[in-house]
Amino acid sequence: MTVLTIHSAGPGLTVQDLGRDGWRAKGLARGGAADRLALLEAAALLGQTTPLSALEMAGMGGRFSVDAPTRFVLTGARMNASVEGRVVASNTSAVLAPGEVLDVRGAQAGSYGYLAFAGGVIGPEWLGSRSAHLLGGIGNFLNAGTIALGADPDVSAGLKRLAVADRLSGGVLRVMPGPQTELFDAAVRERFFATVFKRAAQANRQGLRLEFEGEAFTNETRDLASDFLTPGDVQMTGDGRPYVLLSECQTVGGYPRIGTVIAADLPKAAQAGAGAALRFRAISLVEADALWESEAMILARLEKAVEPLIRSPHDIANLHEYQLVDGATTGDELETE
Amino acid sequence: MSHPAITPEILPLGQDGIVVRFARAVSPEASAAVARFSEAAKALPVVEIAPALASVMLRFDPRQERRSAIEPALREILAGEWTGLSDPKPKRRWHIPVVLDGPGLTESAQMAGVTVEDAIKELTEHELRVRAIGFAPGLPYLGFLPEHWNIARQHDLTPRVESGALVVAVRQLVLFPTASKTGWRQVGRAAFRPFRPEAREPFLLQAGDAVRLEQVAKSEWQSLENTELGGAHCEELA
Res. A312: pLDDT tops 90 = no
CB–CB contact A27 B139 (8 Å): yes
* Chain A residue nearest residue B19, CA to CA: A179
Residue B16: pLDDT over 70: yes
What pLDDT score does A171 carry?
Answer: 97
Q: Given pLDDT bands bounded at 50, 70 and 90, which one contains residue A335?
A: very low
Is the Cβ–Cβ distance between A39 and A64 less than 8 Å? Answer: no
Q: What is the mean pLDDT of residues B148-173?
A: 92
Determine contact, residues B209/B130, Cβ cutoff 8 Å: yes
The per-residue pLDDT for B2 is: 61
Distance, in Å, from the CA atom of A147 to the CA atom of A160, rounded to the nearest integer, reads 25
Instruction: Give me the mean pLDDT over the A3-21 stretch.
Output: 96
Domain architecture of chain B: domains with CATH:
9-78 (3.30.1360.40), 92-236 (2.40.100.10)
Q: How far apart are CA B236 and CA B234, in angstroms?
A: 6
pLDDT of res. B118: 97
**A35 contacts A267 by C-beta, under 8 angstroms:** yes
Alpha-carbon distance of B87 to A151, in angstroms, equals 54
pLDDT per position as a tens digit, A24-44: 999 999 999 999 999 999 999
Q: Taking a C-beta distance cutoff of 8 angstroms, is the pair B134, A252 a contact? A: yes
Is the Cβ of A173 closer than 8 Å to some Cβ of chain B?
no
Contact yes or no for B195 and A27 at CB 8 A = yes
pLDDT attached to residue B226: 86
Question: Percent of chain A at pLDDT above 70?
Answer: 91
Whether A25 sits inside 8 A of B178 (CB atoms) is no
Using pLDDT thresholds of 50, 70 and 90, give the confidence band for residue A325.
Answer: low
Query: What is the DSSP annotation of A292-319?
Result: ---HHHHHHHHHHH-EE----GGG-TTG
A239 Cβ contact partners less than 8 Å away, ≥ 6 residues apart: A216
Q: With contacts defined as CB-CB under 8 Å, which chain A residues touch B138?
A: 26-28
CA dihedral A232, A234, A237, A242 (to 10 degrees): 120
Parts of chain A belonging to CATH 2.40.100.10: 171-290
CB contact under 8 A, A179 and B19: yes
Task: List the single best residue of B6, B15, B139 to mutate versus A (max A Cβ within 10 A).
Answer: B15
**Domain A171-290 belongs to what topology?**
Cyclophilin (2.40.100)
Strand partners, A74: A115
What are the pLDDT digits (tens) for B48-96?
999 999 999 999 999 999 999 999 999 999 998 999 999 999 999 999 9
d(CA A105, CA A82): 9
* Separate counts of helices (H) and strands (E) for chain A: 5, 20
- Reported as a pLDDT band with limits 50, 70 and 90, residue A337 is very low
Q: How far apart are CA A295 and CA A288, in angstroms?
A: 16
Q: Taking 90 as the threshold, does the pLDDT of residue B39 lie above it? A: yes
